[in-house]
Structure 1
Amino acid sequence: MIVRLLSTRTIGNIPLAAILLGMTIIAWMITLDHYGKMDSGPGMELGTLGWYVGMWVTMTAAMMLPSVTPMVLTFAKVSANRAQSHRIPIVPTWIFLIGYLIAWVAYGLIAYGLYWFIASLDLSFLAWDQQGPIVAGLTVVLGGLYQITPLKQACLRHCRNPLHYVINGWRGGRMGAIRMGVEHGFHCVGCCWGLMVILFAVGMMNLFWMGIITLLTFLEKILPTGERFSKVIGIGLVLLGFWIMIDPGSVPFFVEPDTSSNSPSHSKHRE
């Protein structure tokens, strides 16, 4: 039903915006229902590849659909106008979204592979009761420092100007729509990977921090002063990282792992 609606023309983009909002709500409901009861501290086991991909796709939809909505609406409008003026078939919007999702799944798979590579090294100092707080804090600091880099700002400017990209980077046909979605998705990954990697430090299923990162990602893309705001976010994250290193137990909604278990992972997941 959603695919069918995304394939049709919309009036004033209001139906499409409502569909995207509904998809976001559904993704958050699934996250709360299927993953909300998991342990949410640093170092949670990512599980099998199939389980992880399902979790990652759901998280991506929940966290990124709000911020990608302006681009999707712009694509849909330009696609409808081109179809009318050139008398060609309209390119379904869901194809663009598939391309966007491909980029984020690629990022998620790289993160998954890196996680298991590090886990295979069996580095004892990564344990929470060893240097875990330092590693988690440095990860957050890294995400914060990336916020002020030229690459971050360039990717953010791309995401903040959807009309410029769609008009100047338009590619015809369905394959062109997928390519546009992938290209925009990788710009979005370039913009937000530093924020997303923080979840690996504070807990992939920490719903509070998921919500905070979703809000920050959305605001830096829609606020008139979004580029400046993103740098403020970076400074805040650097301070948060040092806070985690010094006294993680006092950080709000930060769940420290249970170090009483001898298992390499203290988190439960659904296979």
Structure 2
Amino acid sequence: MTAAMMLPATAPVAALYTRTIVSHRVARVVAFTVGYLLVWAAAGLPAYALAALAGRAAGTDAATATAVAAAVFAANGVYQLTPLKDRCLARCRSPIGLMLRCASYPGRSRDLRAGAHHGAFCLGCCWSLMALLAAFGMMNLWAMVGLAAVLSAEKLAPAGPVVARGAGAASLALAIAVAWVPGLAPGLIGSAM
């Protein structure tokens, strides 16, 4: 799921990194990809536990489900508007800094470290948007498509930072609206019914 959602946003960085490699290209690209995926896997395990905990809490009653959904939307909305999000997004939008930094990494682990470095900034950009899947439903295809579009627009469109702020404002509005329209969070509200 993460790979499908992140592929459009990370493909340009991977392609740029691949063009900088002159020898042992396949092995080095695999190492870069493994480093990237290790960061997401390390973040995915606690995220899965938190999503399961939120689902269990939401399953107790509708009021708790609504409160959990509002908290998820609000957390994303607030994070989308922070300087940390802006910093991570700037690093993801301009990967040339990554290329320059990775050129100074010594040894065989260079590509693995480069992938992990990029993965960490990518995670910083995207974790709160991925958390929205707890509210929308983990396997909700439309939510995945919509979030993939937002992620791609944030990282690739000229107005990416504006898209990020708009997504934050929309998420804050959803945090308020879910009290009146519980169906906005089918992943949590549905488990309480």
Q: What TM-score bracket applies, with the shorter chain setting the length?
A: 0.7 to 0.9
Q: How far off is 1:130 after superposition?
A: 3.1
TM superposition shift of 1:126: 5.8
Check the 8 A contact 1:159/1:187 in 2, yes or no: yes
Q: 1:175 aligns with which of 103, 109, 116?
A: 109
Matching residue of 1:237:
171
Identity of aligned residues (%): 33
Distance 1:223 1:127 in 2: 41
User: Does residue 102 in structure 1 map to residue 102 in structure 2?
Assistant: no
Q: What does 1:183-262 align with in structure 2 at a 5 Å threshold?
A: 183-249=117-183, 251=184, 254=186, 256-257=189-190, 259=192
For 1:66 and 1:227, the matched residues in 2 are separated by 17
Q: Is the 8 A contact 2:34 2:115 kept in 1?
A: yes
Closer, same or farther in 2 for the Cα pair 1:153/1:178, shift >3 Å? Answer: same
Distance in 1 between residues matched to 2:13 and 2:100, nearest whole Å = 12
Query: Within the alignment, does 1:79 sit opposite 2:13 as a pair?
Result: no
Stretch moving more, 172-181 or 137-146:
172-181
Q: Distance in 1 between matches of 2:108 and 2:13?
A: 17
TM-score (norm 1): 0.64
The whole-number CA distance in structure 2 between the counterparts of 1:131 and 1:118 is 10
The answer to whether the 8 Å contact 1:138/1:242 transfers is no
Partner of 1:160: 93
| Distance change (3 Å), C-alpha of 1:199 and 1:134 | same
Partner Cα distance (1:195, 1:116) in 2:
17
Partner Cα separation in structure 1 for residue 147 and residue 163 of structure 2: 13
Structure 1: give runs of 5+ residues left out of the alignment: 1-58, 84-88, 261-271
Does the 8 A contact of 1:99 with 1:177 survive in 2? yes
Map Cα deviations across residues 34-56 of structure 1 (whole Å, 9 max, x no partner): xxxxxxxxxxxxxxxxxxxxxxx
Cα distance per residue 1:108-145 (max 9 Å; x no partner): 111123345668xx75x762423211211221121111
> Does structure 2 retain, via aligned residues, the 8 Å contact 1:95–1:174?
no
For residues 59-70 of structure 1, the aligned pairs below 5 Å read 59-70=1-12
* Alpha-carbon distance in structure 1 between the residues aligned to 2:16 and 2:72: 35
Q: How does 1:97-136 map to 2 (within 5 A)?
A: 97-115=33-51, 127-136=60-69
- TM-score (structure 2 length as normaliser): 0.88
Provide the residue aligned with 1:92 in structure 2: 28
Match of 2:77 among 144, 151, 154: 144
Q: CA deviation at 1:181?
A: 0.5
Q: Which has the higher helix share?
A: 2
Cα RMSD for the two superposed structures: 2.3
**Which has more radius of gyration?**
1
Q: Distance in 2 between matches of 1:186 and 1:211?
A: 23
Contact 2:59/2:191 (8 A) holds in 1: no
State the shift of 1:233 in Å. 1.1
Paired residue type of 1:257: G
Task: Considering Cα pairs closer than 8 Å and 6+ residues apart, tell me whether 1 or 2 has the greater RCO.
Answer: 2
In 1: Cα distance, 2:54 partner to 2:186 partner: 23
Q: Which runs of 5+ in 2 are unaligned?
A: none
Q: Supply the AA of the counterpart residue of 1:245.
A: A
